[in-house]
């Protein structure tokens, strides 16, 4: 009974914390815009002259789960859609300019498999655009490094699903510690960091990664995932504010990447239980009928409260929501037995995420390092 009461008190306090964050007037640090134009708002335009940035078959290090054409996807229309912001043009991505800007620099993506999606997209774009540049690729534990020696540039991926600590406790087993980041030392010393988390917070059943969640001195078998996410992200924001020198390191948070498991969100009434499987075109227009995932408000609330480091939000949610056609579905790692409406085909939507990242770098003076 005492445990239930403390749980209820915790939820009440947490919901209050969450609401206070959401209703704040957001103070974006450096946004995806150029003047009055928001690069993250717009629509997808079909252009048969718009070729993908690379051929996945020529990018040998793409994970099989993202190689949709290699896994037998028969349609190719999804490769010919171009993101068109409302009222302006997205700066054209220049691989040569990118590696010149970051000559001698180290860039790290930190997060789950959606970070892997974006990291592999960027490495493939650079590999295809700079065919005469040598590269090395190595993986040690959860750290992968793509290195271009001609420019002494390193693009690294650190797999970390929650950002906060997931530890093994002899008594309780796997414990997700919402108020602890001990592995953050491995994130120091980089010129640009791109963080991401959310995907794994939603897992259920035997896919749950923890046996207990710890907040402060209390342990819980489970709790509202949005609240847990908010607490964990707040811990991450405090770590960034305390450990990152904004004059030496650019910091971004990859916005919430949406899923497409519920056809009613995009008004698909053709069949009960419709998902991304079989979808071959984006949602038309600029607005996704299903609205934004609730985690978006949590991210914006936490970022707006950061006091020392201006973290840029790479707001990929709206443009990705419109791409119900961009997932591997049955052409992912699980084949016909699976239906992946969470990750993204490569080439595909994550390429545009990197184009938006580049747009920030070339249009915003605060992004110089």
> Which pLDDT value is given to residue 368?
65
Q: Residue 348: is its pLDDT beyond 60?
A: yes
- Return the structure tokens found at 25: 């007037």
Judged against a pLDDT cut of 90, whether residue 365 lies above it is answered with: no
Q: Which of 340, 360, 299 is nearest to 63 (CA)?
A: 340
Q: Answer for the pair 108, 187: CB distance below 8 angstroms, yes or no.
A: yes
What is the tens place of the pLDDT at every residue in 106-121? 999 999 999 999 999 9
Running DSSP on this structure, what letter comes out for residue 286? S
* 45 Cβ neighbours under 8 A, 6+ residues apart: 81, 82, 83, 84
What is the per-residue pLDDT across 212-270, written as a single tens digit (0 to 9) for each? 999 988 999 999 999 999 999 999 999 999 999 999 999 999 999 999 999 999 986 66
Question: Residue 234 corresponds to which tokens in the numbers above?
Answer: 């707040």
Tokens standing for residue 155 = 């693009």
What percentage of the chain has pLDDT greater than the value 70? 87
Residue in this structure with the two tokens 């750290």, named with its chain if needed: 143
pLDDT at 11: 45
8 A C-beta contact, residue 254 and residue 320: no
Identify the pLDDT of residue 161.
Answer: 96
Query: Is 343 among the catalytic positions?
Result: yes
Decide: 316 and 40 in contact? Cβ < 8 Å.
yes
Q: Collapsing DSSP states into helix, strand and coil, what is residue 320?
A: helix
User: 29, 113, 129, 186: which is the annotated catalytic residue?
Assistant: 113
Q: Flag the least confident range among 145-154, 223-232, 276-285, 326-335.
A: 326-335
Mean pLDDT of the chain: 89
pLDDT, residue 14, reads 47
**pLDDT value at residue 367:** 65
Residue 314, φ and ψ in degrees, nearest 5: -85, 90
State residue 57 phi and psi, 5-degree precision.
-70, -20
Walk across the sheet containing 106-111 and list its strands: 136-140, 143-148, 153-159, 106-111, 192-195, 250-254, 312-314
pLDDT band at 76 (very low <50, low <70, confident <90, very high): very high
User: Strand, helix or coil at 37?
Assistant: strand
E-strand stretches of 149-298: 153-159, 165-169, 173-177, 192-195, 212-215, 218-220, 250-254
Residue 340 catalytic? Answer: yes
Q: Are 305 and 237 in contact (CB under 8 A)?
A: yes
pLDDT at 17: 44
Does residue 198 come out as left (phi exceeding 0), alpha (psi in the -120 to 50 range) or beta? left
* In the predicted structure, residue 7 carries a pLDDT above the cut 80: no
Q: Of 112, 165, 325, 340, which one is the catalytic site residue? A: 340
Does 20 score more than 50 pLDDT? no
Q: 359 pLDDT exceeds 80?
A: yes
Closest by alpha carbon to 253, among 291, 214, 198? Answer: 198
User: Residue 9, exposed/middle/buried by CB under 10 A (0-12, 13-18, 19+)?
Assistant: exposed
Candidate from 13-22, 136-145, 255-264 with smallest mean pLDDT: 13-22
Q: Tell me the Cα Rg of the chain.
A: 20
The pTM assigned to this predicted structure is: 0.90
| 336 token code pair | 């016909």
Mean pLDDT of 190-200: 97
Give the pLDDT band (50/70/90) at residue 15. Answer: very low
pLDDT (average), residues 49-54: 88
């Amino acid at each position: 009974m005492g445990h239930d009461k403390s749980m209820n008190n915790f939820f009440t306090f947490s919901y209050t914390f969450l609401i206070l964050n959401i209703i704040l007037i957001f103070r974006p640090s450096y946004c995806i815009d150029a003047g009055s134009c928001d690069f993250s708002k717009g629509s997808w335009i079909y252009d048969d002259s718009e070729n993908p940035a690379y051929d996945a078959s020529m990018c040998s290090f793409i994970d099989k789960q993202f190689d949709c054409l290699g896994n037998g996807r028969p349609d190719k229309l999804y490769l010919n859609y171009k993101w068109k912001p409302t009222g302006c043009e997205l700066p054209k991505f220049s691989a040569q300019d990118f590696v010149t800007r970051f000559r001698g620099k180290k860039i790290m993506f930190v997060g789950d498999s959606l970070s892997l999606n974006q990291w592999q997209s960027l490495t493939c774009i650079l590999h295809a655009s700079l065919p005469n540049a040598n590269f090395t690729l190595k993986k040690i534990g959860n750290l992968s490094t793509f290195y271009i020696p001609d420019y002494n540039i390193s693009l690294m991926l650190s797999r970390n699903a929650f950002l906060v600590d997931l530890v093994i406790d002899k008594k309780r087993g796997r414990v997700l510690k919402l108020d602890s980041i001990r592995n953050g030392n491995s994130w120091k010393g980089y010129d640009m960091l791109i963080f991401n988390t959310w995907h794994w917070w939603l897992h259920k059943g035997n896919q749950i990664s923890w046996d207990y969640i710890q907040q402060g001195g209390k342990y819980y078998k489970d709790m509202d995932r949005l609240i847990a996410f908010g607490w964990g992200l707040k811990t991450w924001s405090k770590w960034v504010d305390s450990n990152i020198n904004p004059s030496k390191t650019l910091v971004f948070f990859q916005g919430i990447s949406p899923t497409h498991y519920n056809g009613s969100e995009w008004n698909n009434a053709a069949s009960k239980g419709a998902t991304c499987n079989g979808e071959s075109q984006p949602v038309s227009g600029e607005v996704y009928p299903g609205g934004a995932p609730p985690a978006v408000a949590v991210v914006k609330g936490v970022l707006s409260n950061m006091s020392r480091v201006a973290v840029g939000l790479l707001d990929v949610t709206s443009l990705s929501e419109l791409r119900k056609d961009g997932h591997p579905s049955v052409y992912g790692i699980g084949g016909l037995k699976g239906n992946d409406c969470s990750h993204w085909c490569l080439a595909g939507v994550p390429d545009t995420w990197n184009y938006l990242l580049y747009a920030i770098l070339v249009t915003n003076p605060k992004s110089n390092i």
